[in-house]
Amino acid sequence: MGVDIQTIQGDITKVNDVEAIVNAANNSLLGGGGVDGAIHRAAGPELLKECRTLHGCETGEAKITGAYHLPCKYVIHTVGPIWRGGAYGEPELLKNAYWNSLQLAIDNGIRSIAFPSISTGVYSYPVEQAAAIAVKTVKEFCVAHAGRIDTVSFVLFDRNTLHVYEHAVSELQRNG
């Protein structure tokens, strides 16, 4: 049995059927706008307090915290690349952000995880390219670590992003 990859439209802070949600953070891990701001607001100030002890995060890496007032158990904070045209290692860094988040999940026994669309907001990564990398990386990781993850949800904030991810998932299923 392969992993169940889901795409849903919504607010990731409201997702209550996964053990971990992923935050599209910045290198400081001290909060920001977009999904990062929403996660910190919903989790409460204890999250910022724990993040201060982590001393930031390199682009493409990931760190884990508690989820405090969020309806999941953990937040995995990762930092996607800022889009600078595509010739500055952005695809590899985006892949690393997904891969290292999933690695941290299985290292902590987490079997269900929700991702936002990392880097496609403030960081301006073109959404079609980002979605293809996101779903391919999830699939590759789950094949390489068979049986360790049950569910991966992509929680997309707007309809266009949802449609792009739905298309990326169906392309992957068609082409293997």
User: Which residues would be at the binding site for ligand AR6 (CB under 6 A)?
Assistant: 11-13, 24-26, 32-36, 38, 80, 116-123, 155, 157-158, 161
Complex with ligand AR6: residue 121 or 142, whichever CB lies closer: 121
Q: Collapsing DSSP states into helix, strand and coil, what is residue 21?
A: strand
Q: DSSP string covering 48-73, please?
A: HHHHHTTT---TT-EEEEE-TTSSSS
Q: Out of 36, 107, 150, 158, pick the active-site residue.
A: 36
Q: C-beta of 143: minimal distance to ligand AR6 in Å? A: 26
Active-site residue 36, yes or no? yes
Between residues 117 and 141, which has the closer beta carbon with respect to ligand AR6?
117
**Buried-state track 32-70, b at ≥16 Cβ within 10 A, e below 16:** bebbbebbbebbeeebeebbeeeebbebbbbbbbebbeb
User: Distance between CA 50 and CA 77 in Å, rounded?
Assistant: 12
Task: Copy the structure tokens of residue 29.
Answer: 């891990």
State in angstroms the smallest separation of the CB of 124 from ligand AR6: 7
Task: Report the nearest approach of ligand AR6 to the CB of residue 96 (Å).
Answer: 14
Euclidean distance between CA atoms 172 and 175, whole angstroms: 5
- DSSP letter for each residue of 128-165: HHHHHHHHHHHHHHHHHTTTS--EEEEEESSHHHHHHH
Task: Write out the catalytic residue numbers.
Answer: 36
